[in-house]
Amino acid sequence: MQDVFSKLGPLIIGSRLKRMSDYIMRAGAEFYTSKGVDFEPKWFPLYYLLSHEKELGIMDIAQKLNISHPAVIQLAKELEKKGWVTSTKSKEDARKRLLKLSKKGISLLPQLQLIWDDIREVNRQVVESQSTNVLKALEEMEVFFASKSYTERMKEFQDSKKK
Amino acid sequence: MQDVFSKLGPLIIGSRLKRMSDYIMRAGAEFYTSKGVDFEPKWFPLYYLLSHEKELGIMDIAQKLNISHPAVIQLAKELEKKGWVTSTKSKEDARKRLLKLSKKGISLLPQLQLIWDDIREVNRQVVESQSTNVLKALEEMEVFFASKSYTERMKEFQDSKKK
DNA sequence: TATATTTGCGTAATCAATTACGTAACTAAT
DNA sequence: ATTAGTTACGTAATTGATTACGCAAATATA
């Protein structure tokens, strides 16, 4: 992705973010394997969330993780198969199925913590090497679009041109 | 993805990059639709590349775009169906199938250019709003990992802890 | 209380991209 | 000139996530 694309600059922010994200996620997967832990990066958000929140319904999780609810069901299915997560029907609301970490899931935590510490440390090295901090940049983008969405900004730009 | 995750910082660089990338890509798709142009963001890299390079083989493209060659074949199939891309067997190397923009594909370019200009402009606004430039941050990350991969850095960190 | 609407969940179909594998054409080495 | 190895491409299977759809429970409304 050099030469031709170097001049594109802002036009391909999306693709470049995706490429870097894929790269990091893949490296993360490698790392779990190298440590002999049968854990996949995609499980992290759900697992981590449950490790902090005791019990949560499918939709609550989907919202907190900002993914679709079928994705949550799928991830939960995998973690249940591993025996790390169990579910119970809610007594207050019969529609809800509550997820939580099983004992086995909780007992795995310390081992994962160590790995997460390592990942965090290397990521910190990345960030510290930067004169321009990627996390800060992301933070700023999130705030920027929270105040007004990309699509809205597009519309406004269109209108401003017409004048 | 607030509260629980806010303290994670560097641990979830990957997920956050992905989330932002997804967001921008989706907005891009919306924009094409709103302009009544039947073009998908995923086609952009291949289309744009061909608009600059005349003729290219599948593998050349895969390398330049940093995607797998089946992905190129798939994208090409779609663009061929649209009538924007044609292919010919290479005379120098009978294994190669060369892709290029068709006349129809070329004639679409000016219209797309206008849209790309708009996208570029709004993205520029994003970047200019930032005290910390996301493109610069990405650039730095790319350089950082080009000199030594994430996995290598992981290994080194592991070793340094043992001492 | 009956009815309409919303909410929570599950399944199915679809999508975009990958890995794995096979085949044919080219290249290098003997 | 054979053989071995590499390269280019295509297909199939898999992955990870989404949207679309439907059902049942809860909530709001008449």
C-alpha to C-alpha distance for B140 and B135, rounded to whole angstroms? 9
Q: With a 7 Å cutoff on the CB, does B60 touch strand C?
A: no
Å from B131 to nearest chain A CA? Answer: 8
Rounded mean pLDDT, B15-23: 83
Cα–Cα distance measured from residue B46 to residue A6, given in angstroms and rounded to the nearest whole number: 15
Count contacts between A and B (CB, < 8 Å): 216
Contact call for A126 and B141, based on CB within 8 A: yes
Asked if strand C comes closer than 7 Å to A64 Cβ, the answer is no
Q: Which of A29, A62, A43 is nearest to A108 (CA)?
A: A43
User: Which of B49, B151, B158 is closest, CB to CB, to A4?
Assistant: B49
| Residue A94 predicted with pLDDT over 90 | yes
A42/B contact by beta carbon, under 8 A: no
For the stretch A7-37, pLDDT in tens is 566 567 887 888 888 888 888 888 888 888 8
Indicate if the alpha-carbon torsion angle A20, A21, A25, A31 is positive or negative: positive
Identify the band that residue B11 occupies on the pLDDT scale cut at 50, 70 and 90. Answer: low
Comparing CB atoms, the residue among A123, A137, A154 nearest residue B10 is: A123
Sketch the domain layout of chain A as residue ranges.
3-129, 131-163
Q: Could you write out the three-class secondary structure of B40-102? A: CHHHHHHHHHHHHHCCEEHHHHHHHHCCCHHHHHHHHHHHHHHCCEEEEECCCCCCCEEEEEC
Question: Can you say whether the dihedral through the CA atoms of B148, B154, B158, B161 is positive or negative?
Answer: positive
Using a CB-CB cut-off of 8 Å, the residues of chain B touching A56 are none
Say which residue, A84 or B7, is predicted with more confidence: A84
- Nucleic strand C near CB of residue B80 (< 7 Å): no
Q: What is the pLDDT of residues A44-89, one digit of tens each?
A: 999 999 999 989 999 999 999 889 999 999 999 999 999 999 999 9
Q: Which CATH class is domain A3-129?
A: mainly alpha
Write out which nucleotides of chain D lie closer than 7 A to a protein Cβ. Answer: 7-13, 16-20, 24-27
Within an 8 Å CB–CB cutoff, is residue B133 touching chain A?
yes
**pLDDT for res A73:** 97
pLDDT for B1 equals 45
Residue B45's pLDDT band, with cuts at 50, 70 and 90, is very high
